[in-house]
């Protein structure tokens, strides 16, 4: 906090103000956000208040929707998910006039994603793609390959889990991931389906495609993991629960986002130095590596009383220096392609270089094509998948009825 007299001096007489930003708090996210805004605060003499939000993207979205529907000016800057621009665009200002062209340096696909009806409703902050974490030491010890297919992953997980259990480690599991009925499960399940060439739920033309044999096969495979290589509790895991098990040394494989890397490598981590990161496995020989495209943007609310100042903070937080700091300290993927060639960044997070294609070509969820309806589409998908995983429905019937529901929803066009 800087007193108002001092702030006046710093801003050359302009009235200093307080800007409120809503940041995520998954892993080290909140701390990194606070450090970033403190630097801007120091530079400009304005105060910033950081409010945290629920970790689950699904819960965060409903909180935001309530605030925005009430046209509340309480939050100036919203950290919004890559799948939300279509749903929240009407509440956000056009940032393009505030960026002095800085936006053009970011990944083009993200700018396209964040542009709704010709308005840049959010600036890319960090991008994400699902990746596979594995225990290098254990694969070596048991002479197992780094898996390239889901079949190999399943086999190695079974073998290593059996050996670890026999050695007395009764908490050890083969594979942890995000199985709770929320947005994270949409991401994981889209990877299973897309890696089997089963499409992306709704295709780019707006046709519902989810009821197909490859998608059914993918869900059959995943439901076979529950209670065998994955604990039943995975049905209630988000990112952080999965990380908790993996980072404490109790799992061979983990599906997660890149943020888990810097935490797994921290000094107090039991798995420090023992972890590798690769692209997620293919669904069989004809399949492909598929990591869901995730990531977060910064948007300024139309109801903000200080939109110019808020946009200035967004510009600072999305800048090269700040994205570089967040990449090095928290393994948050930059949205500036240039930073993937930065030596300091690559030294801190080697897989940013190795998996550049995975990050550049992440599999998008069908949010652009379904627009305002994306939330409903995703909810229907993760609920159906959750029913299958928990043994309440068979993949074939679940995807058949999901397809009918989604067709009804998109009947008059999305």
**Sites of contact with ligand GLC (CB under 6 A):** 57, 81-82, 128, 183-184, 187, 239, 257, 294-296
* In the complex, minimum distance from the CB of residue 24 to ligand GLC, in angstroms, rounded to a whole number: 7
Q: What is the DSSP letter of 17?
A: -
* In the complex, minimum distance from the CB of residue 61 to ligand GLC, in angstroms, rounded to a whole number: 9
Q: Which is nearer to ligand GLC, 191 or 239 (CB)?
A: 239
Cβ-proximal residue to ligand GLC, closest one = 294
The C-alpha atoms of residue 379 and residue 406 are separated, in whole angstroms, by 11
* In the complex, minimum distance from the CB of residue 130 to ligand GLC, in angstroms, rounded to a whole number: 9
SS3 call for 225? coil
- Enter the tokens of residue 154: 């399943």
* In the complex, minimum distance from the CB of residue 348 to ligand GLC, in angstroms, rounded to a whole number: 19
Q: 99-135 burial, b if ≥16 CB within 10 A, otherwise e? A: beeebebbbebbbebbbbeebbbbbbbbbbbbbbbbb
Q: Which is nearer to ligand GLC, 296 or 359 (CB)?
A: 296
* In the complex, minimum distance from the CB of residue 306 to ligand GLC, in angstroms, rounded to a whole number: 27
* In the complex, minimum distance from the CB of residue 160 to ligand GLC, in angstroms, rounded to a whole number: 27
The C-alpha atoms of residue 44 and residue 46 are separated, in whole angstroms, by 6
Tell me phi and psi for residue 388, to 5 degrees: -65, -45
Q: Which is nearer to ligand GLC, 81 or 312 (CB)?
A: 81
- Whether the Cβ atoms of residue 256 and residue 243 lie closer than 8 Å to each other: yes
* In the complex, minimum distance from the CB of residue 341 to ligand GLC, in angstroms, rounded to a whole number: 23
- Whether the Cβ atoms of residue 363 and residue 200 lie closer than 8 Å to each other: yes
- Enter the tokens of residue 399: 């995807």
Cα angle 353, 277, 247; round to 5: 135
The C-alpha atoms of residue 248 and residue 279 are separated, in whole angstroms, by 22
* In the complex, minimum distance from the CB of residue 178 to ligand GLC, in angstroms, rounded to a whole number: 6
The C-alpha atoms of residue 359 and residue 224 are separated, in whole angstroms, by 28
Q: 180-201 burial, b if ≥16 CB within 10 A, otherwise e? A: bbbbbbbbbbbbbbbbbbbbbb
Q: Which is nearer to ligand GLC, 131 or 160 (CB)?
A: 131
* In the complex, minimum distance from the CB of residue 59 to ligand GLC, in angstroms, rounded to a whole number: 10
Q: Which is nearer to ligand GLC, 184 or 395 (CB)?
A: 184
Dihedral (CA of 222, 225, 25, 36) sign: negative
Q: Which is nearer to ligand GLC, 160 or 189 (CB)?
A: 189
The C-alpha atoms of residue 218 and residue 230 are separated, in whole angstroms, by 16
Tell me the C-alpha to C-alpha distance, in Å, between residue 218 and each of 142, 151, 389: 27, 11, 11
Q: Which is nearer to ligand GLC, 126 or 173 (CB)?
A: 126
Q: Which is nearer to ligand GLC, 29 or 217 (CB)?
A: 29
Q: Which is nearer to ligand GLC, 239 or 322 (CB)?
A: 239
């Amino acid at each position: 906090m800087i007193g108002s007299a001092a702030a006046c001096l710093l801003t050359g007489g302009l009235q200093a103000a307080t800007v409120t930003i809503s940041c995520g708090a998954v892993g080290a996210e909140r701390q990194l956000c606070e450090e970033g805004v403190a630097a801007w605060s120091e530079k400009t003499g304005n105060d910033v208040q950081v409010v945290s939000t629920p970790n689950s993207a699904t819960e965060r979205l409903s909180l935001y929707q309530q605030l925005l529907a009430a046209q509340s000016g309480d939050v100036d800057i919203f950290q919004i998910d890559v799948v939300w621009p279509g749903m929240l665009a009407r509440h956000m200002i056009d940032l393009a006039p505030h960026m002095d062209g800085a936006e053009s340096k970011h990944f083009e696909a993200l700018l396209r994603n964040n542009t709704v009806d010709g308005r840049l409703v959010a600036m890319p902050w960090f991008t994400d793609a699902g990746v596979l974490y594995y225990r290098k030491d254990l694969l070596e010890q048991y002479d197992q390959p780094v898996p390239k297919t889901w079949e190999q992953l399943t086999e190695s997980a079974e073998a290593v889990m059996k050996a670890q259990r026999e050695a007395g480690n009764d908490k050890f599991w083969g594979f942890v991931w995000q199985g709770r009925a929320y947005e994270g499960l949409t991401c994981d399940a889209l990877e299973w389906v897309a890696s089997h060439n089963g499409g992306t739920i709704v295709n780019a033309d707006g046709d519902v495609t989810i009821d197909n044999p490859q998608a059914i096969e993918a869900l059959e495979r995943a439901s076979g993991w529950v209670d065998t290589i994955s604990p039943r509790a995975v049905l209630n895991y988000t990112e952080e629960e999965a990380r908790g098990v993996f980072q404490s040394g109790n799992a061979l494989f983990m599906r997660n986002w890149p943020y888990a890397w810097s935490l797994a490598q921290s000094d107090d981590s039991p798995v420090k130095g023992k972890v590798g990161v690769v692209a997620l496995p293919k669904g069989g020989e004809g399949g492909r590596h598929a990591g869901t495209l995730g990531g977060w943007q910064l948007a300024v609310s139309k109801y903000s009383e200080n939109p110019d100042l808020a946009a200035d903070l967004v510009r600072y937080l999305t800048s090269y220096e700040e994205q570089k700091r967040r990449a090095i300290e928290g393994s948050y993927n930059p949205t500036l392609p240039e930073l993937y060639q930065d030596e300091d960044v690559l030294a801190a997070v080697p897989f940013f270089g190795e998996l550049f294609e995975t990050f550049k070509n992440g599999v998008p969820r069908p949010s652009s094509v379904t627009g305002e309806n994306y939330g409903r589409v995703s909810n229907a998908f993760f609920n159906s998948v959750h029913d299958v995983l928990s043994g309440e429905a068979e993949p074939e019937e679940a995807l058949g009825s999901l397809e009918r529901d989604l067709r009804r929803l998109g009947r008059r066009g999305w």
